[in-house]
Structure 1
């Protein structure tokens, strides 16, 4: 028996040692790839800036990354979409750093900011609270980077926050840029349903017609039933062009410097955390947000960069009705809602062509004799 115990003890020690070796090897491998990413991200330009830190904002400390090759360039604050903090994939946006000092902000309920808060979300935090954080961050950036106005980019859910920021404090911003622009979720749901129904009625997808007919048009009770329609769109229609696989995104995330495994796990579980910790009333209020109550008047140029498959025809009537000193609606062919990340270089070219001149000329306020520009759709190859 004693020999058996000795053998078992030695076996357990061996298994533990193997586990430690495997774990240590994985950690070493990850550290190697993080080092490689850090080398690619390093900014050597004499007048460049590469800064990352937690900034104290009204709802708590939040992670902010500032990157650019020349601090004289206009500042571009990116307000990310739901579930996709751009700071985690900063390498995708390196091409932008020649034209802008790019600022990636992890909102309070996402990514490293959520991890910093111990994975806890204020159950009452809604769009207005994020707007307050964004405006406080804008003031911080203006002081830190010595810029009177900055350019503001809102993506998807983040476009609600960014558009409200632009409306409330136009004196802080040179130009507003929206992509995957939120306008009216309920109306957009019906627009997508009708679009899919029209495709189904061509006779190419009888099974889609049967599913849509059985579901009927939105709105649904409960609203979460919309997911039954939402999952059909990428199956039967083009919703994105070339894009990274989930495996590529995970490998990229694991290789990101400054991100611990706790940060990554918190980010991965953020959607579930939001639904679990935030009250249903706040969650529903965020879902039914509409752009219309903000009015039609904006005191800065307005630019939308929409993917071809992201229903630019839906946002056009709202955009056409805006009154602004300049307007531009740019369509990126062959891409969709995630064009900002999946086609980041092409998106950066659109920023260079359509946003950079406005950001420069409006950095110190309205230029003299600024003409009112009518909206125009400009495909970007």
Structure 2
């Protein structure tokens, strides 16, 4: 069975939504033929290509990393997934393959998430689930990848919750990055949640949706204490009105994708659901204090990709911050037909933006 959104965490990603994983079940083998077809299609056969999955230890926690690219000579692009706990590895087959002709793309299941979740004792892991630890895990991962693949710098792409982690890395260690790319960039939890809530409420009022209006009004004053159930209550209707996927009332089609992933078994999918529950409970309460509003300077280039219809992490908040930001180079790219998931909603535009604004920054 497929779970719906697990609460989007607050925002740190938001206000970042936290997406829940589909539960594993005994019928997953019916997808085996499909997985084999996709594995064959996506197999990298180029002479200097790389396609490997391995385990690393970051901050004392064992974590799983997947690396794919048509040419090891290309620059590394690390995808920092959302959530927290919303891994992207099992979805990457649906959009990432074209990127791999121009970048060596790294998908990484963060501590407590996806395939990394069962590798560590949850009781030992729990006290380490902090924003600073995620940031430092990322820095350690960059250092290990630089050594393994002989690179001086990398590109870092943070999506949703991952944009919190990514921005924190860019602020602390810009020397490691050719550029930072933020997708659905988190800036301020309180402002973002308030803006998203007001938008959602207005959609419900225009729609004469009495059930939605009643449920949303019951959450006021919003966001309050950023409790997971409150965020989940708002996300239910925000997603219904297209804040996640523009023009769609839910993301069910998206949450089925992992069943066809060559990189995820039914046991991995089950671990994803368990890791999401574990992670959200620990990290969501920290979100209210996470803000980049006072950050007005970065020492590395920055590119923001924003969905025009993203009301989970409202893009106008990122735009107003971006206007006053000082950086060696900066670009703001609008995805006019997207909500929060532009890599799925506008994959051609995404590839074009990566080639136009990102790839030229590496030698």
TM-score range, shorter chain: 0.7 to 0.9
Q: Is the 8 A contact 2:89 2:263 kept in 1?
A: no
Number of residue-to-residue matches in the alignment: 329
**5+ residue gaps, structure 1:** 1-22, 362-381
CA distance in 1, matches of 2:289, 2:108: 24
SS at match of 1:88: coil
Which of 103, 113, 116 is 1:113 aligned to?
116
More RCO (CA 8 Å, sep 6+): 2
Which of 240, 251, 261 is 1:235 aligned to?
240
Which of 137, 144, 147 is 2:148 aligned to?
144
CA distance in 2, matches of 1:305, 1:38: 29
The structure that is helix-richer by fraction is 1
CA distance in 2, matches of 1:37, 1:212: 41
Question: Is 1:348–2:354 an aligned residue pair?
Answer: no
Partner of 2:179 in structure 1? 175
Change (3 A) 1:150 1:237: closer
Change (3 A) 1:189 1:313: same
**5+ residue gaps, structure 2:** 1-25
The Cα offsets for residues 246-304 of structure 1, whole Å up to 9 and x where unpaired, read as 35643x3233234333221010232222245x3xxx541234311135x2111111100
CA distance in 1, matches of 2:43, 2:231: 43
Q: Output aligned runs, 1:116-195, within 5 Å.
A: 116-117=119-120, 122-124=125-127, 125-195=129-199
Q: Is the 8 A contact 2:245 2:251 kept in 1?
A: no
Partner of 1:88 in structure 2? 90
TM normalised by structure 2 equals 0.81
CA distance in 2, matches of 1:268, 1:63: 16
CA distance in 2, matches of 1:236, 1:246: 14
CA distance in 2, matches of 1:167, 1:337: 24
What's the offset of the Cα at 1:45? 1.2
CA distance in 2, matches of 1:106, 1:192: 28
Change (3 A) 1:345 1:64: farther
TM normalised by structure 1 equals 0.78
Question: Is 1:246–2:252 an aligned residue pair?
Answer: yes
What's the offset of the Cα at 1:342? 4.1
SS at match of 1:72: coil
Partner of 1:336 in structure 2? 339
Q: CA RMSD in A?
A: 2.7
Q: Is the 8 A contact 1:109 1:121 kept in 2?
A: no
SS at match of 1:148: coil
SS at match of 2:68: strand
Q: Which moved more, 1:326-335 or 1:85-94?
A: 85-94
Change (3 A) 1:209 1:268: closer
Q: Which moved more, 1:258-267 or 1:67-76?
A: 258-267
Partner of 1:292 in structure 2? 293
SS at match of 1:303: strand
CA distance in 2, matches of 1:232, 1:46: 49
CA distance in 2, matches of 1:154, 1:121: 26
Partner of 1:312 in structure 2? 315
Change (3 A) 1:143 1:215: closer
What's the offset of the Cα at 1:336? 0.9
The Cα offsets for residues 89-121 of structure 1, whole Å up to 9 and x where unpaired, read as 231210111111111111011111112226666
